[in-house]
Amino acid sequence: MRKFALMLSVFILMASLVFAQVRNVTGKVTDDKGLAVAGAAIQAKGTKIGTVSSTDGTFTLTIPTSVKTLIISAVNAESTEVGVAGNLTITLKPVTGSLSEVVVVAYGQLKKTNITGSVTTVKAADIEDKPFTSVDKALQGTVAGLQSTSSSGAPGANTDIRIRGIGSITAGASPLWVIDGAIATTGDLSTQTTTANALSSLNPDDIESISVLKDAASTSIYGSRGANGVIIVTTKRAKAGKSAINFTAEDGANTLAFKPSNKPLNSIQSQTLLRESLINAGYATDNASADAVITDPVNGLGIPAGYTNTNTNWLDVVTRTGNQAQYNLSISGGDPKTQFYASAGSFNQLGTTIASDFRRYNGNISITHKASDKLTFSAGLNGSTSDQNTPLNTGNFGNPILAQFFLLPWYTPYNKDGSLRYNDADGEFPLGGGIYNPVVQAAYNKYNLKQTVIRGNVLGEYKILNNLKFTSRYSGEYFDVSEDMYLNPFYGDGYGTQGYGSSAYKRVFDWTWSNFADYKQNLNKDKDFYFDLKVGYEAYQQKVYQLSATGQAFPGTLALQYLASAATPVGAYSVVAGNTTNSLFSVADVNYKDKYVLSGSFRRDGSSVFGVNHRWANFYSVGGTWNMNEENFLKGNKTISLLKLRTSYGINGNQAIGNYTALPTFGFGYNYTGQPGSALNNVGNPDLTWELNAIFNTGVDFGLFKNRLYGTLEWYSRNTSKLLLSVPLSQTAGAPGNSQNRNIGAMTNKGVEITLGGKPIVTKSFSWDVSFNFSHNVNKVTQLYLNAPVSNGVFNITVGHDIQEFYMRQWAGVNPADGTPLWYTDGTHTKTTGSLASAKLSLSGKSASPKYFGSFTNTFNYKGFSLQVQFFYNFGNYVDNLWGSYTSSEGLYLGSFNQLTSELTAWQKPGDKTNVPQVIFGGNNNSQRASTRFLYKGDYIRLRNAELSYSIPKTVLKKARINNIMVYVRGTNLLTFGTDKNIPFDPEAGVTSSGDLNVYIPKTVTGGIKIGL
């Protein structure tokens, strides 16, 4: 017995000694936003002991007491080491430049290791809570090679996106958008609104990530739609873990982003110039006699005698300090079997120009359910409704921006009693024509668009084998767009018809059904040599229904504005349209030890939009990458942490040519003797096919000093052939317009892209991050029908030249001897002439496309404070003032329309050197006619975004059970500099770089708070 007791005591002592040599460590792993990280690897340093975090980020690990350090790592996060303690809270920082990062690509995700093409990812933090009505506006400056520009600053306005230049003459040149697997309908769906944007229906706060695909290796899998690049949008999805609630509230104000120095004259300046022009023309000898001519109602201009005492700044009249607010609420959570995400939000913006505003309300819900180890289902539904008011633009009399430039400063918008001024006996604001009081127009007229959009998707994924799974995904969109226009019967454009109204309705439904199998096969025992193959089928259909009606002669009240009140119907119109595409596709990757990767894709598309002889076409790509940093001679290198070489080549297409361009069609409305009649309105072409795009891309990705310095350098050549052009036919053919559409042109886009980033300073409490991107593209037309130029407005598309090279008379300045205008006789600039008739229209050598653009961003973090400053730059293009002939007319329109202050620098005496001819009432030898005189340098640098934020320490929030609180103040378009001193409007003027009297781009300053529970 004593022996047994002794043995038991020894056993207990040994056991206690063993247990005394181990300990339990608990903790929680979160990301930089305080959200739980599931599946993070926690390893005891120097051992093989480890575990992974659960769905709520927590973990428990038993380790020897000798272990003093834990290593924590996770996908898309930087690995970190922490000292052992009782209860740890570990925050992982997002990875920068790591090849382990997972990127969303076509039909799935890839590690950066496997990517052979050009793909740039924009994450949620870069686009959420931005004060923009649509996500495309937030992309400006974020991606090298992507040009994002707006010609209008109206709330809800459309945005032009071009990726690596312009790749078509008459077909679409915008990239393909794919939203949660659905081939999305984008662009301007309105028919009578100045501008609207289908993407404004999507709340940027609901977006998880955006992948921009730029080369053939990444876009050719989309076949006939991939020529202009692809933008893949992934909305936020359910995640396992403790339920999380996030709320954001933001409020602020809008003003004008840019106020030019060359602006409309004030009253004193305008009077001075008018008197000068009358004296120079011989209508007066001095200022007193000039005033007599000005005020004479019979033999003079008939301007009211009191004009000298009035000065109206029409810019102040038609613009205002707008306001905007947005609120977003989301909740997410679930267990390993079922996860959910739901959100709701609102966005309201009052524009900086009168009669412009935008309101959106949206909701989003998604759920993912793992029915078994093999079967997973997910579904999502995203909906929004918006209400937008936008004034007219361009030369319409109801355009407030036109009124701001054209209205004379001695006219006033209000009567002495404060009432709106119109119907004046002196004709100050004419009833039947001319420029009307914009305040009355804004108050009495209506240009309204309402848009309701629903996007939904369902997905099923079945794991047939451990290395084989099948996915079926159905995604759809439904757009309901209604527009109402009303021109009042009392004043302005509607006066002559006793009021005018128009209503339009458009319904768009599209769906994408994708079915594909994904097979992964290891080729060696170590499982580091494998291939991944996807094979699938996809169907797409879009249907459009459109209806419009107009009427006039409305009752004499502003209370009845819909067509039901119109006494005289004017017209009605309805039409249906649609297109379908069927596709077979495959994509494969072969990976050897993460060193060498070969990729390929193939797609066969059949589309209803092309001729019966060429309805199907094949598209492909090949690519390769060498991850040099995985080689033994670079592994462990203290300087080079990432070095990746890649190249690709492929063919894709452009089918954005119109639904029925290939078909011979008849149109109705050609009535005869009161009977309905039809006539051929398109000759058709059974051989019409895709515009082809061949892209070669090569690039290098690098990271130095543990990715403290990283970047990407790329060069591409994009050759587009079979461009769709209208070819003239013999007049005896009887074809409409004596022309036929054929695939006959070609062009190239070649360029360089640079993306650089770094962390110059990283300390325990302070860090400084820098990023920079640069884009340079050269466009050249290489083939046209019979090499004959194609007229396209202010451009004349010519072989050997840029597609957007301005074509006009070449301005040579002012003759210093007599103040008369001079032009060059032709594009050689060798001879000048004072005769407009002798000045030939010619190519100017100046393009609307920028030579280079990009951004420069600095982010500073100090403890809980963060400051981010982003500058966007654009250089090398020219902007055309389409209305310069009216506002810089050297006396032709003086007394009728206001002029710009540049007219004050007009020639005065022999020897003067100036670019403005002598001001003579009635004009100076056609000096105001369109020429390169009205081209301005489009160069500018803009403080695009600046944000200062503060995150309250977690130790303060812990007792209140709040995960995070961040307060911030943000500004967009805060400063604009480096511009042409003579440009009279914002230099950001859309892809075509044309100043067309659009609503001004706003500067926005907002403050907000983000709360996470």
Mean pLDDT of 725-740: 79
Mean pLDDT of 720-724: 96
Length of the chain measured in residues: 1013
Nearest to 973 by CA among 1005, 995, 997: 1005
> 296 vs 278, 303, 625, 939, 942, CA distance in Å?
13, 7, 80, 46, 48
Residue 48's pLDDT is 67
Question: What residue has token string 């006959």?
Answer: 744
Q: Tell me the pLDDT band of 433, cut-offs 50, 70 and 90.
A: very low
Helix or strand holding residue 622 (H, E): strand 616-627
Mean pLDDT of 281-289: 95
Q: How does pLDDT run across 123-142, given as a tens digit for each residue?
A: 888 888 788 999 999 999 99
Structure tokens at 649: 């080549």
Structure tokens at 434: 């001319």
Residue 16's pLDDT is 45
pLDDT of 27 over the 90 cut: no
- Residue 269 CA from chain centroid, whole number: 40
Mean pLDDT of 552-559: 95
Q: How does pLDDT run across 815-856, given as a tens digit for each residue?
A: 999 999 999 999 999 999 999 999 999 999 999 999 999 999
| C-alpha to C-alpha distance for 814 and 797, rounded to whole angstroms | 29
Phi/psi of residue 306, nearest 5 degrees: -80, 10
pLDDT of 8 over the 60 cut: no
The letter for the amino acid at 497 is T
Q: Which of 27-41, 484-498, 599-613 has the highest mean pLDDT?
A: 599-613
Residue 18's pLDDT is 42
Q: pTM of the predicted model, to two decimals?
A: 0.90
Q: Tell me the pLDDT band of 955, cut-offs 50, 70 and 90.
A: confident
Residue-by-residue DSSP string for 121-159: EEEHHHHTT-S-SSHHHHTTTTSTTEEEE-S--STT---
pLDDT of 452 over the 80 cut: yes
Q: How does pLDDT run across 312-368, given as a tens digit for each residue?
A: 999 999 999 999 999 999 999 888 889 999 999 999 999 999 999 999 999 999 999
Looking at 220-297, which runs of residues are DSSP E strands? 230-235, 241-256
Which residues does residue 449 pair with via DSSP β-bridges, in sequence order?
388, 483
Instruction: Tell me the average pLDDT of the chain.
Output: 91
Between 61 and 438, name the one with better pLDDT. 438
> Residue 484, Cβ neighbours under 10 Å: how many?
19
Strand, helix or coil at 3? helix
**Using CA of residue 18, residue 21, residue 27, residue 29, what is the dihedral sign?**
negative
Residue 428's pLDDT is 52
pLDDT of 692 over the 80 cut: yes
Are 52 and 43 spatial neighbours (Cβ–Cβ below 8 Å)? no
Between 503 and 10, name the one with better pLDDT. 503
Residue 736's pLDDT is 74
Q: Tell me the pLDDT band of 273, cut-offs 50, 70 and 90.
A: very high
Residue 17's pLDDT is 40
Phi/psi of residue 489, nearest 5 degrees: -80, -10
Q: Tell me the pLDDT band of 435, cut-offs 50, 70 and 90.
A: confident
Q: Which of 71-75, 381-385, 534-538 has the lowest mean pLDDT?
A: 71-75
Phi/psi of residue 225, nearest 5 degrees: -115, 0
In the DSSP assignment, the letter for residue 999 is P
pLDDT of 631 over the 70 cut: yes
Between 25 and 624, name the one with better pLDDT. 624
Residue 114's pLDDT is 87
Nearest to 120 by CA among 946, 644, 754: 754
Structure tokens at 493: 């454009």
Residue 19's pLDDT is 43
pLDDT of 874 over the 80 cut: yes
> Residue 361, Cβ neighbours under 10 Å: how many?
15
Strand, helix or coil at 318? helix
pLDDT of 154 over the 80 cut: yes
- Residue 462 CA from chain centroid, whole number: 36
Structure tokens at 730: 């013999």
Residue 39's pLDDT is 67
Residue 425's pLDDT is 46
pLDDT of 735 over the 90 cut: no
Mean pLDDT of 765-778: 96
Q: Tell me the pLDDT band of 76, cut-offs 50, 70 and 90.
A: low
Burial 25-49 (b: 16+ CB within 10 A, else e): bebbbbbebbbbbbebbbbbeeeeb
